[in-house]
Structure 1
Amino acid sequence: MTKLSVNINKIATLRNSRGGIIPDVVKAAVDVQLFGADGVTVHPRPDERHITRKDVHNIRPVIKTEFNIEGYPSREFIDLVKSVRPHQVTLVPDPPEAITSSSGWDTIAHFSFLQEVISEFKESGIRTSIFIDPVEEMISKAVETDTDRVELYTEPYATGYAKDREKAVAPFVAAANLANKLGMKVNAGHDLNLENLAYFNECIPFLKEVSIGHALIADALYLGLERTVASYKALLKKN
């Protein structure tokens, strides 16, 4: 069964819009695990517009499953991750002003940088994953950085799903096969939801984990968090 890591950033966004501690992101981290999530993901940004550095430290002790911290590997981010020691760090190429992730790494252009950062995390015993587009050249170069995993950026799949889902998923199938052949495990995330997740999971070989935040938290407004986590988990069973 593919693992589900719930990104709780949007819980923090709602809290920050009003100030105070409601909703409580630490409780949200506890609850999603109780409701069946296999992990918790956070993405702290420099402006702390959702998850804050303090949140990251507060959440770490309540993790009973797996903790994934994603973000751009600035010096501040690297130091935060090393101090918290999550199970996994996912490197994304977002500039500070980005609203959300919009592409994967160019592993050729940024090879030396990624290799150095990954080496530093691995010295601390932290599993690494690179956020990446389903492009053969980028996958092939990623393995040379010594990353443990790649996380496929799935927005193009989500966008193309309604029009032609077979065409939309094809590059991701090829990317997952190549990554596995090269010895890297495969994660995925971005714009996966209750409509398109089951087909993606069915088609993608060797898929270890999906990280889902925005859609899942939005669905929880209508379905409740416990029912929503269960609904996403049900779509991740492999036939």
Structure 2
Amino acid sequence: MNLSPGISIKGQHRIQGDVLFDVNLDIPGGLWTCLLGRSGVGKSTILRIILGLETGGAFEGIFRATDGASLNGRIGYMAQSDLLLPWLSVLDNVCIGARLRGEPPSEARARDLLRRVGLMEHTDQKPATLSGGMRQRAALARTLFEDRPIVFLDEPFSALDAGTRADMQELAAEVLIDRTVLLVTHDPAEAARLAHQITVMSTRKVQNWPVPQTKALRDINAPETLACQSKLLEYLRGGTA
């Protein structure tokens, strides 16, 4: 039985009374939903609304887990900024959530995740000594370490080179199998490769996009994947889908 619930959110986000966007989004349980759209349309804001974080406005509507239970404590979140604590080592940053909750972290598991993101030789270093891509990989390891049934990823691979990006996509897809994942991305190729559901957000509407019939994680060079990527890019650039 799938233990990762879906999420439904419906309503309006307003700032000083003005409607910034309407949202009517169903995120299916146990699958990857990729949310695309131009910068500024509100993709990251949707994540922040569900997480209960400051958005600069007010949300009028409802959001809920499809199993009816509270979402508190069930969502892992990787923000656009790595949010690493500068005074802690890379290893301690990965384990910080457990320690803040008063739980003994599994350092063996943390080290294994750092090995898999390519940072095994940097576990004792402070974040200031790392490149932007390395910091992002450390933040990914921290998010995966939390082991939540629902995971929000906000541009998690944006600072990575193409090869490392593909490797981290594969790692995330493996570790987060059967989890409910909402991935905000600007990359049509990423969505075409990873998504079970693709949702495109504009200033006018939120709509689902046809996904390839092949199984995610897809071969990026497969004809179906490339066709989906091409049509998404054309649409996002303002052409006809």
Structure 1 length as normaliser, TM-score?
0.42
Name the one with the larger strand percent.
2
Greater relative contact order, per chain length (Cα 8 Å cut-off, separation 6+)? 2
Name the one with the larger helix percent.
1
